Structure 1
Amino acid sequence: MIPSSWTPPPTPAFAPTPDPLTPARDITHQHFQAGEQVVVLKGVAGGELWGDAMRIVAPSWHTPTDEDGWRLRDATGGAQTYVTAHARYLVHLSRRCPDCLIYLRALEDHLLPKYSGHDALIDCGWYTTTALGQLVHIADTRSGR
């Protein structure tokens, strides 16, 4: 018998949205420099793209992809202040560069129509953080890591 005070666990309003763009993005490690502000786009909020803003700290090996990555600092803190991420996950905030603007526009064209009319923050579920503090896109995860 279920007690009268029981409520079902919350379920997401939307299923994760596939991300065909980020895994195929061809951005090299050299595209970013230490000190730059970047964002890792994670979803939609109030009709706009939403993500985590961070500052690039130093080069770092990104173990999940076996490629050069960047050590990032989240100035707002949170559960983990520093993470390592692959360059293809990042978009410039500190300057407007053509490559990042093209990627930003493509993500807008892909995501915004799917969530038009929704004001809630929608996390598309593309990223996880490993035990090593590395931000990993779901398309880059490997078994055993």
Structure 2
Amino acid sequence: MLPPSWTPPNTPALKPTPDPLTPDRDITHQHFQPGDQVVVLKGVAGGDLWGDAMHVVAPSWHTPTDEDGWRLRDPDGGQQTYITAHPRYLVHLSRRCPDCIIYMRALSDYLLPKFPATEEVTDCGWYTTTGLNQLVHSSDARSDR
């Protein structure tokens, strides 16, 4: 007999959901600066958008997209304290930025009606992290990496 499955508390439920907005987001590398606090939106929780808060550290080449990216630091540490991400994955937390607000509003309008407003944390499955600690959106994943 198999032991019962166990999921650690606060583990997001994975519910793959298409993301039509992030892949087409036109945001430049210069939009973010070292020291900025950002979030990588990954899903929903409690009727609102949910994601990982990070600090922008330094410019870094984003190998999966062959474009300028940013080295990010997770202030809470963890298994992947530092990752590299493409600018279109990021949203400002440290300031009210019109571009980021428009993107967040569009993502909210698209995503929130698809999920009931419960306390469950839902990961929509948009991102994975490569062996090089590079955050990759599902639309940017390449089979040659």
Residues 13, 43 of structure 1: CA spacing in aligned structure 2 closer, same or farther, 3 A cutoff? closer
Distance 2:33 2:40 in 1: 15
What code does the residue aligned with 1:64 have? P
Q: Which structure: larger Rg?
A: 1
Alignment-derived partner of residue 33 in structure 2 = 33
Q: CA deviation at 1:78?
A: 1.1
Distance 1:133 1:78 in 2: 12
User: Does the aligned pair in 1 maintain the 2:69–2:87 contact within 8 Å?
Assistant: yes
What secondary structure is seen at the aligned counterpart in 2 of 1:53?
strand
**Residues 71-121 of structure 1: CA deviation (Å, up to 9, x unaligned):** 000000111100000000000000001000000001100111111233200
Q: Mark the runs of 5 or more structure 1 residues left unpaired by the alignment.
A: none
Q: TM-score, normalised by structure 2?
A: 0.91
Q: CA deviation at 1:138?
A: 0.5
User: Does the aligned pair in 1 maintain the 2:13–2:121 contact within 8 Å?
Assistant: no
Quote the RMSD (CA, aligned, Å): 1.7
Q: Highest relative contact order (Cα 8 Å, sep 6+), 1 or 2?
A: 2
Q: CA deviation at 1:13?
A: 6.1
What code does the residue aligned with 1:97 have? C
Aligned length: 141
Alignment-derived partner of residue 141 in structure 1 = 141
**Sequence identity (%):** 73
